[in-house]
Amino acid sequence: MIIPNPTDDHPFPTNCLPKPLADITRKMAAVKSCSEALVAVALLVACAVMIGGRTRLVLRAGWLVSAQIFAAIVGASGTGKTHILDAVFKAIQIMQSEMLDDYEAEFEAWRKAESTGPRPVAKRLWTSNPTVELLVRVLAENPDGVAWKSDELNSVFGGMNQYKNGRGNDEQVLLSSFSGTSIILERVTTRTKEHSGIYRVDNPFLCIIGTIQPEILRARQREKGGHYENSGLDARFLKVLEKHQKLVWMPEGEEDETQEQITYIYGQLLKTRPSKDSEPKTKTLTAEAKEIWVDFYEQKGAVERFGYEAAIQEKLVEYAAKFALISHLVRLHCSTEPGLTYQVDAQCMRNGIEMSNWFYAEAMRIKGMFKFDEKEQAALRFLEKTPREAQPAYKVARSSRLFEGTIDAQKTLRRLTDKEAVVYIERNHSPGTPGRPSDGVYRVLPQEVSRKPNETSANIEVFETEGGAV
């Protein structure tokens, strides 16, 4: 497989999705004016949670993978990231509302009857921004697993161990849930006659998806000496970089039709879950698919990589199998494609591998955005001294001997703007005012600073340039 240059924009291989998902991806991306990659990764996560954790693909004896996915949509404010996630998860939210209505009715009947039997359990498909302790309880009550959908992934990382002075094991819970390792949570405060206070999840299944701004992701990757990279948590997240897209008005009714298709697919996948008391389901590979998988596995192992690249590669090898499993189940239960078997075939595996390669290239492309040369580092150091004040290029040029002049500084600042490490702000240039209309100012948002709600360029302090006020 040819991996695209990480420094170039490269379209998501939508043709590798099973046809029902590919059709929705193309249509929703057009209707919502977003990239197909954004829609595709959201659909993959949504389908994964509907499949649940008790359907697994056997790669070899003792190596079983579920459809579990962690994903991050990386993009500046205003790129429509959250809007797309809401659209993809709308059907799941409706399904969960119906489940909670049933639970409330069961609970009320249980309470009125003063029953001594077990308390009813709320069945869930997703949750948003719970504490990790509550998350473990939700997973314990829902063995098929849930999705954690977060509008801001910064709250996921920033909220870990927040009640334990940074000494808790919240991060370990997420790492364990990804690998399917048992989680045990014991809380004395929840011990009652009805409950021991121990929550045990033997095979946790958790999907996470959310949005994060590039500068905040960069801050998290640099935080605590690169702790999140070194722990492997960052490498577990598929990443998609979403940029501003040209808005195109689409005919009314297109979105309703897409939602009907999404609802049908989710409903079909939900029916594939094993019944409550039955054993987990296992899927196997056809002989050809197994041969393709082994070849891919050995090729990846033959390329020596280190650090973050090695961690990304290791996780994406298994992600190829996850994508193959999801593709197989969607094709089998949600399409009219003839000649399908109950084994995961070669086509699913090839497509899963191609999508895995794409996500590797995307991860490296995003990581490359945060690599800065000497001049870029000098400009960032200067701008980070005044994080809420915009500065003109000539002041950046004067801040370091590395710059050969204002034009050199402008070129450096434009590279940083392309990497979304710096924000360019056009000045309001009135006729008759000294200075060039093309002059503008730049600012950066470092990790120590959080963006204020409703902050715009209108309330950012600026300075005078050589030619006049900006």
Give me the percent of the chain exceeding a pLDDT of 70. Answer: 80
Mean pLDDT of 158-176: 64
pLDDT at 190 over 70: no
Torsion sign across C-alpha atoms 450, 456, 462, 465? positive
Q: Which two tokens stand for residue 442?
A: 């730049």
pLDDT in tens, 362-382: 998 888 777 788 888 889 889
Residue 19 has pLDDT above 70, yes or no: yes
E-strand ranges in 286-396 read 391-392
Query: CA 85 to CA 452: how far, in whole Å?
Result: 23
Provide the β-strand partners of residue 426.
440
Domain 374-469 falls under CATH 1.10.10.10: yes
Tell me, what's the pLDDT at 153? 86
Is-contact 171 161, C-beta < 8 A? yes
> Residue written as tokens 């990239």?
35
Reference 443, options 466, 427, 467; nearest CA is 427
pLDDT tens digits along 421-458: 788 888 765 555 555 545 688 887 544 333 333 333 33
pLDDT at 66 > cutoff 50: yes
Helices (H), 33-71: 36-51
Confidence of residue 169 (pLDDT cuts 50, 70, 90): low
Higher-scoring residue by pLDDT: 263, 468:
263
Q: What is the mean pLDDT of residues 400-404?
A: 91
Q: What is the pLDDT of residue 252?
A: 65
Please give the structure tokens belonging to residue 210: 């959310």
4 backbone dihedrals φ, ψ, rounded to 5°: -60, 155
pLDDT at residue 228, as a whole number = 60
Most confident of 50-54, 195-199, 439-443: 50-54
Residue 87 burial by Cβ neighbours in a 10 Å radius (0-12, 13-18, 19+): buried
Mean pLDDT of 8-24: 90
pLDDT band at 402 (very low <50, low <70, confident <90, very high): very high
* Lowest-confidence pick of 143-152, 304-313, 352-361: 304-313
Dihedral in degrees, nearest 10, Cα atoms 135, 130, 363, 346: 40
Residue with the larger pLDDT of the pair 240 and 277: 240
* Band (70; pLDDT cuts 50, 70, 90): very high
Q: Assign 197 a pLDDT band (cuts: 50, 70, 90).
A: low
What are the boundaries of each domain within the chain? 14-368, 374-469
**Which secondary-structure segment (H or E) carries 59?**
strand 55-60
Q: What is the pLDDT of residue 36?
A: 94
Mean pLDDT, residues 348-370: 91
The position carrying tokens 């954690």 is 148
Q: Is pLDDT at 30 greater than 70 in this prediction?
A: yes
CA distance linking residue 418 with residue 423, whole number of Å: 9
**Nearby residues of 334 by Cβ (< 8 Å), 6 or more positions away:** 18, 20, 264, 265, 268, 269
What is the architecture, at CATH level 2, of domain 14-368? Answer: 3-Layer(aba) Sandwich (3.40)
Alpha-carbon distance 67 to 50, whole Å?
10
Q: Once rounded to an integer, what is the mean pLDDT over residues 149-158? A: 80
The three-point CA angle 67-73-78 to 5° equals: 150
Query: pLDDT tens, 287-297?
Result: 999 999 999 99
Question: What six digits make up the tokens of 281?
Answer: 């389901």
Per-chain mean pLDDT for the chain: 81
- At 73-91, the pLDDT tens digits run 998 776 678 889 999 999 9
Instruction: Please tell me the predicted confidence (pLDDT) of residue 458.
Output: 33
Q: Tell me which residue of 270, 140, 285 sits closest to 205, measured CA to CA.
A: 140
Residues 215-266: tens digit of each pLDDT: 788 777 766 555 566 677 888 999 999 876 666 666 666 677 899 999 999 9
Count of residues for the chain?
A: 470
